[in-house]
Structure 1
């Protein structure tokens, strides 16, 4: 019998958007286990602290029994090796995402033979990014349809909306 296929969906998820959730849900249909892993970068100050991001991701993925949530420091391939993960799943919104991600996929394969799978973002979500969502909420707009409801509630509170 084959080993279960474990993959990781890495990112900062500050905050998790419906575009992120779309990729995680689709990956959960394709693989035995999906780990949503938040990169901890002490040099970057996010809107939400890492524990709150992990909590929000766990809440909005709770309907997916094969999805786990974790965080990591350092190189993603080291995290994969340490946790028996054989693949990385990345969402692509546009050709520019592919141009950015492909060299990293090649380097990850070169270093550890961890494969990268690219999933095209659903067309209706291809314009959504965490930074744009934060920007429009700061400007007073409603993020309904762009982020899960639980995220929208905390985002509004964090930005004084």
Structure 2
């Protein structure tokens, strides 16, 4: 029996293994793409700024949504309150965010990024965007990149529909 000749689109990006039915599984393809984005993040932000992906995400969401609560962040990221508290504690100890008592509800705290946190989030985001464009330029046109981002956002929005709100 002759061996089947696999095309590049039928095999894993590295290792040249036959993907078979995995090729059509969204989660598998997202996991493979995450390998690329994690490498870009580690090189451009993780090591240079000593930030984990979740810390970058939390910081950036605080920068973009000043005065928000820890509970709202935890809901947005689908994590527990203790986890979000731990990550905010780390960012606060680095002087990147601060907690303040809410003017509307004195029992709760609101979150704000410091000037250093704002500058770090903006610099990190720009480095990620530039490096992702460069890493993907040989594989995606600018239009395809924009479509991919829009489609991934639509997939993420299905979370709210599946969980009854999000």
**Larger strand proportion of the pair:** 1
Taking structure 2 as the reference length, the TM-score comes to: 0.30
- Greater RCO, CA 8 A, separation 6+: 1
Taking structure 1 as the reference length, the TM-score comes to: 0.30
Structure number with greater Rg is 2
